[in-house]
Amino acid sequence: MLFLLAAGSFSAMAQSKAEGFVTTGKWVLEKDEMKGLGTHHSIEKNTTLQFLENGNWISSHPIEGVSSGGWKKGDKGRIIMRFGEDKTAVVEDQTDCCITVVMKDGTRKLAWTWRREK
């Protein structure tokens, strides 16, 4: 029983740590890639992305046609971003300085790497 409580506490702590990590400061676009079939709409160089603590995100230039949306914790503590009514992306990788946001849309897979703004 004590083990289960400790495991639950660790899981909650890891999830809140992911939230705190992305909401601290702004992120600057470093890489914009697409795989698969479809039209690629590049994001403007030096676009910034910010995750607000109220569950919204904003960008300095449109990403997939929108400049703001919502975000929440998803499965396994990963951050899920909402782009309008029908598109979502997931923060799949996190390092000390970078995050990678991945969106799967039909046959194309978009990946954006963001570096923490200094």
Q: How far is the CA of 22 from the CAs of 2, 76, 88, 104, in angstroms?
A: 31, 15, 17, 21
Domains in the chain, CATH or no CATH each: 2-116 (2.40.128)
The helix/strand/coil state of 45 is: coil
Closest CA to 60 of 86, 103, 26: 26
Per-residue pLDDT band at 3 (split at 50, 70, 90): very low
Express each pLDDT in 75-94 by its tens digit: 888 899 999 999 999 999 88
Q: Who has greater pLDDT, 30 or 105? A: 30
Q: What is the pLDDT of residue 75?
A: 80
pTM of the model: 0.81
Per-residue pLDDT band at 7 (split at 50, 70, 90): very low
Express each pLDDT in 42-54 by its tens digit: 999 999 999 999 9
Q: Percentage of residues in the chain with pLDDT exceeding 90?
A: 61
